[in-house]
């Protein structure tokens, strides 16, 4: 059985003055709450402060990006060991905003996956099609290309250490989430492909999260799908109460599915 996972992606939001009360609100809202893994991904500058607030709780700390090398002359970049030192256990890789705004290619994404794994971080590999690709019937082709490239050179055991987030680009920050059926269809496809690329066991254990305008209202239906193992939440994670309620819905979704 896959434990649901809900990740908060704060993106470029959260000065320390904002991050501290937000992290505290999530921590307090989830006191004694069990059954869902939760990770907060604040901006780099707030990692240490948020890490201190989460200390001694089961809530994990994650980063939104990393470089693929352990150190080097890469001005402005952050290396995996630096994240590990701050208590990060996971890192988002290949988010569509980075692919689009920073020109991250599938090849670079793959290097980052390898770099993160080499230092014990769980890569959360983000994939998803644009509106145009969906319109042209290229959803599976796009996701397949991103997944094959992202997982290149990994053995089955390494693939088993990943999380995949399906985030249709057209659903991110738009207020229009994929329908549970649309998401479940792609999640099933991802699992099938991972079964082929790694193994059936790895695919069965792999957590595939949905991301793109997940809100407290839309979370119930999405998280009730057996193929949807949790959520990657952007905008709605900036409100402690709203985020806590999504996490609680993930637990109910799992219960509904008999997990």
Binding site for ligand PGA (CB under 6 A): 9, 167, 172-173, 211-214, 232-236
Minimum CB distance to ligand PGA, residue 86 (Å): 21
Helical packing angle, 240-256 and 16-29, nearest 10°: 40
Minimum CB distance to ligand PGA, residue 205 (Å): 23
The dihedrals phi and psi of 91, each to the nearest 5 degrees, come to: -150, 135
Minimum CB distance to ligand PGA, residue 250 (Å): 14
Of residues 27 and 95, the one with the C-beta less far from ligand PGA:
95
Separation CA 211–CA 127 (nearest Å): 10
Does 144 participate in catalysis according to the annotation? no
Of residues 51 and 235, the one with the C-beta less far from ligand PGA:
235
| Active-site pick, 67, 95, 133, 225 | 95
Q: Is 117 in contact with 123 (CB distance < 8 Å)?
A: yes
Does 185 participate in catalysis according to the annotation? no
Could you tell me which of 140, 127, 144 has the C-alpha nearest to residue 212? 127
User: Sign of dihedral through CA atoms 87, 91, 97, 99?
Assistant: positive
| Active-site pick, 129, 133, 167, 227 | 167
Minimum CB distance to ligand PGA, residue 62 (Å): 12
Q: Is 194 in contact with 202 (CB distance < 8 Å)?
A: yes
Of residues 206 and 236, the one with the C-beta less far from ligand PGA:
236
| Residues with a known catalytic role | 95, 167
């Amino acid at each position: 059985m896959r434990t649901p996972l809900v990740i908060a992606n704060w993106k470029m939001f959260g000065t320390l003055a904002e991050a501290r009360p937000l992290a505290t609100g999530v921590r307090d809202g989830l006191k004694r709450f069990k059954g869902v893994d939760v990770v907060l991904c604040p901006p780099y500058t707030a990692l240490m402060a948020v890490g201190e607030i989460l200390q001694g709780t089961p809530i994990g700390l994650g980063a939104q990006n990393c470089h693929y090398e352990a150190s080097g002359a890469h001005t402005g970049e952050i290396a995996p060991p630096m994240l590990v030192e701050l208590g990060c256990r996971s890192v988002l890789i290949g988010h569509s905003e980075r692919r689009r705004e920073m020109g991250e290619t599938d090849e670079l994404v793959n290097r980052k996956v390898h770099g993160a794994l080499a230092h014990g971080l769980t890569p959360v590999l983000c994939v998803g099609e644009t509106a145009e690709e969906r319109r042209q019937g290229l959803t599976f082709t796009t996701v397949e290309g991103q997944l094959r490239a992202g997982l290149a050179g990994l053995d089955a055991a390494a693939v088993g250490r990943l999380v995949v987030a399906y985030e249709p680009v057209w659903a991110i920050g738009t207020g229009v989430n994929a329908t549970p059926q649309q998401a479940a269809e792609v999640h099933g496809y991802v699992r099938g492909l991972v079964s082929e690329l790694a193994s059936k066991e790895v695919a069965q254990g792999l957590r595939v999260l949905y991301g793109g305008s997940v809100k407290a209202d839309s979370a119930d239906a999405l998280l009730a799908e057996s193929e949807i193992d949790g959520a990657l939440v952007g905008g709605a994670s900036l409100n402690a109460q709203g985020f806590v309620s999504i996490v609680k819905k993930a637990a109910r979704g799992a219960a509904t599915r008999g997990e």
